A and B are shown apart, each in its own frame.
Chain A
Amino acid sequence: MKFAGLIVMPAGFFLSIAALVLFPAAAPRTAFILCALAVEIVGLIVAVRGHMESRDSDAGEGR
């Protein structure tokens, strides 16, 4: 779960780059970039959830 979220996040970055190249007009470009940010936020939420599940009581990854 934690890695899945972090793998999704760069996809959002590439979507924002694609928006710059593909849409010269402001409105569709803004909408597409907002969608890219939404993808990143979904990835972040999945990563956060993944780290919550991995931490039963007080055990961290570093231990």
Chain B
Amino acid sequence: MTPIISPAGPTPPLPEAAIVLDLLLLVLAPLAIAGVALINVGLGRSRSAAQALLGNMTIISTALIGFALVGATFATNLGGPGHILNIAGKPWNWLGEGPFFLIGIGNASAQSQLEILFEFLAVALAAIIPWGSGADRLRLSAGSAIAAVLSILVFPLLAHWVWTGGWLAQLGINFGAGAGFIDPAGAATVHLLGGLSALAVVWVAGSRRGKFPKEGFATAMPGHNAVYILFGCLIALVGWLGFNLAGASLWLNAPLAALPVTALNTMLTAAGALAATYTVTRVRFGKPDASLCANGWLAGLVASSASAAILSPVPALLVGVAAGIVTPLLVEVLELAVTVDDPSGAITVHASGALIGLIAAGLFAPLPGQFIAQLVGIATILGLFLPLLYLLFKILNRFVPFRVDPDGERIGMDLHELGGGAYPEFVIHRDDSYR
């Protein structure tokens, strides 16, 4: 594939046609958020379905407001070049320098406005990822509080480092590491961060009651609606195409001629992942598993966020196959060996899918030193942000308890938090897993 990345430097302004196209693509991107929200709902239990979907909406709202009021200040460079520390003779741009409350955004260039729009959509997607992992036990207020922390403090820091001239983006200029850390559609900034947030949330909130009994294996608590899950996957594909194409154009300065291949790679990666997960679950269980296949598809899309704009079609397919093989196996390991109760599989799907995509981007990128830049980016997010997220969520849990009380968990989040169920005309059977 024609290289579309160049050593980081001042990026030339996008042509007008590209700006129009990027705007249209970003209008599609909310479908990725809708797809993940549907998957989160379907993988939870029926007695928590309405609370789960309402939670996705409140989290998106909180994240958008938090990012607009405060987060964008740290993520963007509308007000200046950013806050720079000089260490070891190199400039380390560690914090953005934008106006509070997005004041003056109307006077910024169309390209800058598009970049902020991209970050808006990205923060909304990142914020709903931990909600799926905390399904059936997280309070609505906790979901919004987590979204506020992510959108005001954590995401803006990483978004600036990766996208808007921060020190990770400058690794190419300052240390000769390829084009700097490349993450065109948020594999690291959205999905790795979201997956690690999900892990921190699960650690702080604990598992669902009855999930890990004192004796025997973990209790199976399957999702309540496979149609939501699989339909969510199909919707997410459209949104992902929007994210990947707009990201390639905005952050990698990809020419229009490179975008069709990026779209093709996105679909190939997802297809390869689904085929691999289908095969693995069929071999393991005798029949393909619908929810794991959905997780595999989504992991493929996540991996494509890092690699679709960089790879040729065959490596893109192989990246998908790798994500599709790892996903069902890691879901099983997390649940059975490590006792992590993750109803939506978000930790596996988003964190491991992102890691596979980011590493593949480093291996196949046409610039020397790119692999080093990708490794430094991964080391930064894993080594710095996971402990930070855990610390922040532990403190937050003191003020806004994450977990519903045992009675609420027993009767279901819908009745407890909303006063009514999602399916009032259905007979809800006793849950044998609760003991």
Contacts and interface: CB of A to CB of B under 8 A. Distances in A.
A10 B384 contact: yes
A45 B204 CA distance: 17
A55 B205 CA distance: 11
B158 to A, nearest CB: 13
Interface in A25-63: 26, 29-30, 33-34, 36-37, 39-40, 43-44, 48, 51-52, 55-63
How many A residues are at the interface, by size bracket? 35 or more
Given A33-B379, A37-B378, A44-B386, A61 B205 contact: yes
Contacts of B68: none
Contacts of B160: none
B120 interface: no
Contacts of A20: 171, 175, 177, 376
Contacts of A37: 375, 378-379, 382
A51 B203 contact: yes
B207 A58 contact: yes
Contacts of B3: none
B205 A62 contact: yes
Interface in B357-384: 368-369, 371-372, 375-376, 378-380, 382-384
Interface in B71-90: 87-88, 90
A7 interface: yes
Given A37-B378, A62-B206, A56 B214 contact: yes
- A contact face: mostly helix, strand, loop, or mixed: helix
A21 B90 CA distance: 9
A57 B213 contact: yes
A31 to B, nearest CB: 11
Contacts of A44: 382, 386
Contact of A13 (B175, B379, B397): B379
B338 A52 contact: yes
A59 B87 CA distance: 46
Nearest to A48: B338
B372 A58 contact: no
A9 B376 contact: no
Interface of A: 2, 6-7, 9-17, 19-21, 24, 26, 29-30, 33-34, 36-37, 39-40, 43-44, 48, 51-52, 55-63
Given A26-B368, A40-B383, 8 more contacts: A6-B390, A9-B382, A17-B376, A19-B376, A30-B375, A58-B208, A58-B212, A61-B204
**3 pairs of A and B residues whose beta carbons are closest in the complex:** A60-B206, A13-B383, A62-B403
